[in-house]
């Protein structure tokens, strides 16, 4: 099952996507779906107004998560290109919800940063509350998967030892287009890629993750109670712009794909800062 949050005037609506049709579920967003007991059966069966999938205006699939957790340095290929060693614990950092944008929204390139970079990431969405979740129970807490591009302002990220200012820029981070529920999601091996202006920059297999989704859910839940709608971006593979000195420029088209999960397609526009 595919669930999305779409914009409708000034508000949003959760929809189930069935082929070429989107069926409105009667709640404001996918997080509101995941907060219902027995959400899988409810969301699969509920009927409502229908609209064509063509032309949907996607909001971030979870517009206002309680937590957006991100993982740094989690693909062997990316760890090697940054000159680091394979870590013994996940590097966790966070974003604010205000950083999130829809799957096809423009990415504003801020006037203050000349080093805006791409980071394709497989992203876990939590579907069941839990604390201190065992690795072998983690799959019960994962609603499904989506795509994030953890767009990073490298000049700001690297100014200090804390990455926040380069990682949580307002309206920087596409999340979507939809949640594919775990039962329909491909297995651990999926192709993940990022293309900029038709040129492939990143291409990897999610099986190269050092800490896989279950390990990350278990680890993060030591620190936090994970809530329905919480988002965990699992880190990016090799091929980021920082490694080659190339960054996103005005007019760039950035496409982030994961096999079985769709794509985010974003036009980057220099923001004059008005
Ligand atoms: Zn990242």
Q: Give the Cα separation of 186 and 202 in Å (integer).
A: 20
Token pair, residue 7, equals 């914009």
Query: 160-202: per-residue pLDDT in tens?
Result: 999 999 999 999 999 999 999 999 987 889 999 999 999 999 9
- Residues whose Cβ atom is located within 5 A of ion ligand 1: 119, 150, 236
pLDDT class of 263 with cuts at 50, 70, 90: very high
> How far, in Å, from the CA of 181 to the mean position of ligand 1?
22
Query: 134-168: per-residue pLDDT in tens?
Result: 999 999 999 999 999 999 999 999 999 999 999 99
Tokens 């890629």 -> residue: 193
- The predicted pLDDT at position 84 comes to 85
> How far, in Å, from the CA of 236 to the mean position of ligand 1?
5
Does the pLDDT value for residue 234 go beyond 80? Answer: yes
- The predicted pLDDT at position 172 comes to 98
Tokens 């949907």 -> residue: 56
Going along the chain, which residue ranges are E strands?
Answer: 2-8, 11-18, 21-24, 50-52, 68-72, 91-95, 100-101, 107-109, 116-117, 120-126, 142-149, 152-153, 173-181, 191-196, 199-205, 231-233, 253-258, 262-270
Query: 236-247: per-residue pLDDT in tens?
Result: 999 999 989 999
Does the pLDDT value for residue 274 go beyond 80? Answer: no
- The predicted pLDDT at position 13 comes to 98
> How far, in Å, from the CA of 105 to the mean position of ligand 1?
19
- The predicted pLDDT at position 51 comes to 96
- The predicted pLDDT at position 82 comes to 80
Mean predicted lDDT score pLDDT of the chain: 96
Query: 12-45: per-residue pLDDT in tens?
Result: 999 999 999 999 999 999 999 999 999 999 999 9
> How far, in Å, from the CA of 271 to the mean position of ligand 1?
22
> How far, in Å, from the CA of 185 to the mean position of ligand 1?
21
> How far, in Å, from the CA of 44 to the mean position of ligand 1?
32
Query: 205-225: per-residue pLDDT in tens?
Result: 999 999 999 999 999 999 999
- The predicted pLDDT at position 73 comes to 84
- Which three-class secondary structure state does DSSP give residue 40? helix
- The predicted pLDDT at position 186 comes to 75
């Amino acid at each position: 099952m595919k669930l999305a949050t779409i914009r409708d005037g000034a508000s949003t609506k959760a929809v189930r996507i069935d082929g070429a049709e989107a069926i409105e579920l009667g709640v404001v967003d996918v997080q509101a779906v995941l907060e219902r007991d027995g959400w899988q059966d409810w969301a699969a069966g509920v009927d409502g107004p229908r609209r064509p999938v063509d032309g949907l205006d996607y909001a971030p699939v979870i517009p206002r998560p309680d937590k957006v957790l991100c993982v740094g340095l989690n693909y062997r290929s990316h760890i090697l290109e940054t000159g680091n060693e394979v870590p013994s614990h996940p590097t966790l950092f966070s974003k604010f919800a205000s950083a999130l944008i829809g799957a096809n929204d423009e990415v504003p390139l801020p006037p203050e940063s000349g080093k805006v970079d791409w980071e394709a990431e497989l992203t876990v969405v939590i579907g069941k509350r839990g604390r201190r979740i065992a690795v072998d129970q983690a799959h019960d807490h994962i609603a499904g998967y989506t795509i994030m591009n953890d767009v990073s302002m490298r000049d700001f990220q690297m100014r200090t030892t804390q990455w926040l200012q380069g990682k949580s820029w307002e309206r920087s981070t596409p999340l979507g287009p939809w949640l594919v529920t775990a039962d329909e999601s491909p297995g651990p091996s999926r192709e993940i890629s990022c293309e900029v202006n038709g040129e492939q920059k990143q291409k990897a297999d999610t099986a190269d993750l050092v800490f896989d989704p279950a390990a990350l859910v278990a680890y993060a839940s030591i620190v936090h109670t994970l809530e329905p709608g919480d988002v965990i971006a699992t880190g990016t593979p090799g091929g980021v712009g920082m490694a080659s000195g190339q960054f996103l420029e005005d007019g760039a088209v950035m496409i982030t794909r994961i096999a079985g999960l769709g794509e985010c397609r974003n036009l980057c526009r220099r923001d004059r800062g008005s």
